[in-house]
């Protein structure tokens, strides 16, 4: 799984990356987590606000980006019974 954090490097972007990394570790899943600060790459996703989470090329639209919400999202993508 490839997870990208779209943002400009602000404290919210860094905090979101930390939450995603914590969620990945707590779930014990294999994922590559990277920050994307390239404006052209961000524009490719038509992101209206930052930060945003992109998982395997698909932008998510989480309003509440708590660790629990991120874990729920990751679980739904890795567990076929929850899809």
Predicted TM-score (pTM) of this structure? 0.87
Residues 6+ apart with CB under 8 A from 23: 67, 70, 71, 74
What value does the mean pLDDT take over residues 70-75?
93
Other C-beta atoms within 10 Å of 3: how many?
21
pLDDT-based confidence at 80, cuts 50/70/90? low
Q: In the sheet where 58-59 sits, what is the strand order?
A: 32-36, 2-6, 52-55, 58-59
pLDDT given at position 15: 95
The C-alpha angle 8, 11, 15, rounded to 5 degrees, equals 105
Tens digit of each residue's pLDDT (9 = 90 or more) over 36-58: 999 999 999 998 889 999 999 99
What range defines the domain where residue 33 resides? 2-82
Residue 83: its pLDDT value, please? 43
CA atoms 6, 53, 47, 43: torsion sign: positive
* Number of separate domains in the chain: 1
CATH number, domain with residue 75: 3.40.30.10
């Amino acid at each position: 799984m490839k997870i990208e954090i779209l943002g400009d490097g602000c404290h919210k972007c860094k905090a979101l990356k930390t939450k995603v990394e914590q969620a990945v570790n707590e779930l014990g899943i294999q994922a590559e987590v990277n920050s994307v600060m390239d404006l052209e790459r961000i524009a490719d996703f038509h992101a209206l606000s930052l930060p945003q989470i992109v998982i395997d090329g698909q932008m998510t639209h989480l309003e509440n980006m708590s660790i629990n919400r991120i874990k729920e999202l990751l679980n739904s993508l890795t567990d076929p019974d929850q899809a």
